[in-house]
Chain A
Amino acid sequence: DAGVIQSPRHEVTEMGQEVTLRCKPISGHDYLFWYRQTMMRGLELLIYFNNNVPIDDSGMPEDRFSAKMPNASFSTLKIQPSEPRDSAVYFCASSLTSPWDEQFFGPGTRLTVL
């Protein structure tokens, strides 16, 4: 298995632009997680899905952030409009059958908003 796949690996955009991050979880995993990592706040859970259904989005910073999982093999995290404070590394992770199963992380997307 190729592991969790994220794209793009790096994204540089200007303030106000829409940004879409993509994730392909490990096949057969029921749970998908989106995290954000910054030096100031560390690794924060934004939202997670179970069988494509959002379960907890309490970590989503504000309405500018949205996430979807249209099918078991694909998820997106969208920021519209983007702001410089959104600059961070965004990780997607998946786990097999529960949130406390080992979570496998993707390589992350480094987002820079100018």
Chain B
Amino acid sequence: DQQVKQNSPSLSVQEGRISILNCDYTNSMFDYFLWYKKYPAEGPTFLISISSIKDKNEDGRFTVFLNKSAKHLSLHIVPSQPGDSAVYFCAASEIGTASKLTFGTGTRLQVTL
């Protein structure tokens, strides 16, 4: 049972344009959401997070939007840069468990020149 879904396995975007990565979840108990970026042969790097009391969180070029009613979140990268090319994982947890992240299967972003 895939509780966190990233339905697009890959995405190609031109440098300078906006990248939008999407994530859907089914567990209504999730209330903390994170995005991780992963380069080949490296561990995931924490990028940005959002708790369910917010609908938007911004950090530089990265913005995460949360739509609780739709159980949907998205990561926007503006402007996209070649160094952003990586696999992006969406993850979710229940506040209070402090222990269990449920990951999506990832979206491979390719930023082209």
Q: Do A and B come from one complex?
A: no
Write the residues of chain A forming the contact surface with B, with a CB cutoff of 8 angstroms. Answer: none
Write the residues of chain B forming the contact surface with A, with a CB cutoff of 8 angstroms. Answer: none
